[in-house]
């Protein structure tokens, strides 16, 4: 069993930059492809993706042998869901829709063993190696598991100072589509008011010594975001990347040869 060593967390804590991709179609094959491509993080999406714990385990198994670390966007800020996700063997968790300090504290507690949290302790699941040298994982998990929460609402922006003060919260993920929609601009983060809110989030997170994370639609946008201080960007998603490429190829065919 390899040492549970979260190299991505260490790099982000040191102010470094990492690159990630979404695994949103519950496919071990696409997760393997993304890991083989060399991403630092493969973010398996259990909030908007169709997967469950068994597909999550299969995706992580498919990544084995690559440096890419499996992270998960949880379906909700629920300590049972967080426990099962972590027991599957992930290195980092993105908790959606965290709007208050109390909710941020609950997210962290759900990811930490006592006395730092309420995560149930067991040596039998996949993460501790099915009982084989389980203490090698159990003793390190509280320090090595990365916890970030999503800012997706005006309430979260208003409470950000208190959220950032929560011990054990490593970073903040900005969800631009949810944030803009909750601010009254449906799926339009380009609005000046939304951009002003994002700038406020960025400044506060960086001042607090936490890392910033978000999505980037293309490499030019990613370069700008890294320059603004972001540590983790998700620059591609398996489903939408395939859909976009497929549509492009079909459009090229139709243009050349018609229907």
- Cα four-point dihedral sign 118, 15, 150, 35: negative
Determine whether 181 is an active site residue.
no
| Set 5, 36, 48, 124: catalytic member | 48
CA distance 52 to 29: 16
Which residues are catalytically annotated? 48
């Amino acid at each position: 069993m390899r040492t549970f060593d979260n190299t991505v967390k260490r790099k982000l804590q040191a102010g470094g930059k990492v690159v990630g991709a979404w695994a949103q179609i519950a496919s071990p094959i696409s997760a393997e492809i993304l890991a083989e491509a060399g991403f630092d993080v493969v973010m398996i999406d259990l909030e908007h993706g169709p997967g469950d714990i068994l597909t999550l385990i299969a995706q992580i198994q498919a990544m084995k042998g690559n440096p890419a670390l499996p992270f998960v966007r949880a379906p909700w800020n629920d300590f049972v869901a967080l426990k099962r996700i972590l027991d599957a063997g992930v290195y980092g968790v993105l908790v959606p829709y965290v709007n208050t300090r109390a909710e941020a504290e609950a997210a962290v507690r759900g990811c930490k063993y006592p006395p730092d949290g309420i995560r149930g302790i067991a040596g039998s699941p996949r993460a501790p190696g099915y009982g084989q040298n389980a203490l090698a994982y159990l003793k390190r998990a509280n320090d090595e598991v990365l916890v970030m929460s999503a800012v997706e609402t005006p309430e979260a922006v208003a409470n950000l100072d208190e959220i950032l003060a929560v011990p054990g919260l490593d970073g903040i993920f900005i969800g631009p589509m949810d944030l803009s929609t909750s601010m009254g601009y449906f799926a339009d983060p380009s609005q000046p008011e939304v951009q002003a809110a994002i700038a406020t989030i960025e400044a506060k997170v960086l001042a607090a010594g936490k890392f910033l994370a978000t999505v980037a639609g293309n490499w030019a946008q990613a370069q700008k975001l890294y320059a603004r201080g972001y540590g983790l960007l998700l620059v591609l998603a398996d489903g939408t990347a395939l859909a976009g490429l497929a549509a492009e190829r079909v459009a090229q065919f139709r243009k050349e040869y018609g229907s």
